[in-house]
């Protein structure tokens, strides 16, 4: 009975700590309301300037292979608000990703985004150990095929896009064929492909009291998202994740402004998944030979990862093109994640410059150089969050356009190396 009471108190303490942090976010927002209401948008928030970009990018990644990825991007097609893009991947990885965004079901009020991904073959990094205290090469390569991912988002936008409510549905299915080491050597060939399925629903809101939605220079943004993870089988856990993000923007001079972000993600398990290791091994189907040490080590890592997920759930991971940019996507995972970043942006030019380079057409409205510093932590217990951290720093070039895209190239460095990121929006 004493143990139960202690556990209940500990859970209460964790929830109280998180609610206290959320309260801090809200208080900061309320304290800035007086100046926020005085903020006026610098320009229209629904843009119709048409643009396009065809961008071929060769890739060569150890263990994953080589090939070419071609991105075709169209903005505000036929002078509407609709954006669309398609990514064709060829080589050792093959598939296509396509999306249509900013479909105005009700003009300037109700907006739909949809995305479909179909990958016929690929290899992805799988970090078996969760938390921050892991080595750079502490991962295996998972060969997958028949990866199908569908995404739909419906947004209700009000008050010149200063207040938004949104709902998201996402489902994914993939077959895992075999497992390799970081050098691409085969570790385990599954007798039967392991089918991975997941589905989630998101509900959230965004408060955007800034002078511009695309390229803010002053004001603040606060968003909160509830994500539910549906069970596909009795072995899966049932949990939900709450993500909170606060960004604020401070003008330093006419050409310099500071952007800062704090992000917190917290998973709450409502139904624990399978915790019997023998059952999880059977479901994985690696069938390792008792003398095959490498296969057994991989199996143990995967089982531990599934155990942590089934008991604690998954918060939003760190790593990739948005948070801790010097690390690969999903590098750091756990039940809780905390991230904060600061970025200094130098607006070199804000002249309106139409351009057409055959494969790239748009209207430049701003050229920026940015430097940034990021720090993040993940943990299985909320009390351990922030005890171990990783940091990255770097800089990049941004072209802000009249079509609403921010063409961005960032170079980030951390303790495991560096990464170059190219994308078409700000990281947060």
Whether residue 24 is contained in a domain is answered as: no
pLDDT tens track for 275-313: 999 898 888 888 888 888 888 888 888 898 889 999 999
Classify residue 58: in a domain, yes or no.
yes
Q: How many structural domains compose the chain?
A: 1
Question: Pick the residue with more confidence: 191 or 140?
Answer: 140
Q: How far apart are CA 404 and CA 233, in angstroms?
A: 42
Whether 236 has a pLDDT exceeding 70, the answer reads: yes
For residue 198, is it within any domain? yes
Buried/exposed 131-157: b ≥16 CB within 10 Å, e otherwise = bbebeeeebbbbbbeebebebebbbeb
Dihedral-angle region of residue 361 (phi above 0 means left; psi in -120 to 50 means alpha; beta otherwise): beta
SS3 of residue 296 by DSSP = helix
Q: Is residue 242 part of a domain?
A: yes
In this predicted structure, the answer to whether residue 3 has a pLDDT above a threshold of 50 is no
Length of the chain (residues)? 428
Q: CA-based diameter of the chain, in Å?
A: 73
Please check whether residue 428 lies inside any domain of the structure. Answer: no
Angle at 271 between CA 198 and CA 284, to 5 degrees: 50
Q: Decide which of 260 and 2 is more confident.
A: 260
When the pLDDT of each residue in the chain is averaged and rounded to a whole number, the result is 88
Q: What is the rounded end-to-end Cα distance, in angstroms, of the chain?
A: 45
Number of Cβ atoms within 10 Å of the Cβ of 22: 17
CATH number at residue 393: 2.40.160.50
Section 161-188 average pLDDT = 91
Dihedral sign of CA atoms 46, 47, 52, 58 in order? negative
**DSSP state for residue 386 in the 8-state scheme:** T
Task: Give the whole-angstrom CA distance, residue 337 versus residue 321.
Answer: 16
- Identify each DSSP E strand in 108-185 by its residue range: 110-126, 140-158, 163-180
Residue 17 domain-assigned (yes or no): no
Whether residue 6 is predicted with pLDDT greater than 70 in this model: the reply is no
Q: Indicate whether 347 belongs to any domain.
A: yes
Residue 217 belongs to domain spanning:
32-423
CA distance 192 to 344: 51
Q: What is the pLDDT of residues 8-46, one digit of tens each?
A: 444 444 444 555 555 555 555 555 554 545 788 999 999
In this predicted model, what pLDDT tens digit does every residue of 335-372 receive, in sequence order? 999 999 999 999 999 999 999 998 999 999 999 999 99
Does a structural domain hold residue 187? yes
């Amino acid at each position: 009975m004493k143990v139960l009471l202690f556990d209940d108190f500990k859970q209460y303490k964790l929830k109280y700590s998180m609610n206290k942090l959320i309260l801090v976010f809200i208080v900061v927002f309320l304290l800035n309301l007086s100046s926020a209401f005085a903020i006026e948008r610098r320009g229209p928030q629904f843009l119709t300037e048409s643009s396009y970009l065809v961008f071929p990018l060769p890739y060569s990644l150890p263990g994953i292979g080589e090939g070419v990825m071609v991105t075709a991007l169209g903005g505000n097609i036929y002078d509407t608000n609709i954006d669309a893009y398609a990514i064709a991947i060829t080589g050792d990885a093959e598939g296509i990703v396509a999306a249509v965004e900013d479909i105005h079901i009700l003009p300037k009020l109700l907006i739909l985004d949809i995305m479909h991904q179909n990958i016929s073959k690929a290899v992805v990094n799988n970090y078996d150990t969760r938390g921050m205290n892991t080595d750079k090469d502490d991962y295996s390569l998972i060969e997958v095929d028949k990866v199908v991912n569908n995404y739909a988002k419906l947004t209700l936008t009000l008050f010149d896009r200063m207040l938004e409510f949104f709902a998201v549905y996402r489902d994914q299915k993939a077959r895992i064929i075999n497992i390799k080491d970081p050098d691409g050597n085969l570790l385990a060939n599954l007798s039967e492909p392991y089918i991975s399925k997941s589905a989630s629903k998101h509900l959230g809101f965004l408060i955007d009291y800034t002078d511009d939605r695309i390229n803010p220079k002053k004001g603040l943004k606060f968003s909160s998202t509830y994500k539910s993870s549906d069970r596909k089988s009795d072995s899966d856990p049932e949990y939900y994740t709450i993500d909170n993000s606060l960004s604020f923007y401070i003008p330093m001079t006419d050409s310099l402004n500071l952007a800062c972000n704090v992000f917190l993600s917290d998973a709450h398990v409502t139904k624990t998944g399978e915790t019997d290791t023998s059952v999880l091994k059977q479901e994985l189907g690696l069938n390792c030979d008792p003398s095959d040490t490498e296969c057994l080590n991989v199996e143990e890592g995967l089982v531990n990862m599934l155990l942590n997920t089934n008991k604690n759930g998954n918060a939003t991971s760190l790593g990739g093109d948005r948070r801790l940019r010097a690390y690969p996507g999903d590098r750091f995972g756990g039940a809780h994640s905390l991230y904060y970043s600061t970025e200094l942006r130098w607006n070199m030019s804000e002249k309106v410059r139409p351009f057409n380079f055959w494969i790239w057409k748009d209207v430049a409205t701003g050229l920026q150089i940015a430097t940034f510093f990021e720090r993040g932590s993940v943990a299985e217990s909320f009390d351990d969050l922030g005890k171990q951290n990783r940091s990255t720093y770097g800089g990049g070039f941004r072209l802000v356009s009249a079509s609403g895209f921010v063409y961005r190239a960032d170079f980030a460095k951390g303790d495991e190396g560096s990464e170059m990121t190219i994308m078409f929006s700000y990281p947060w």
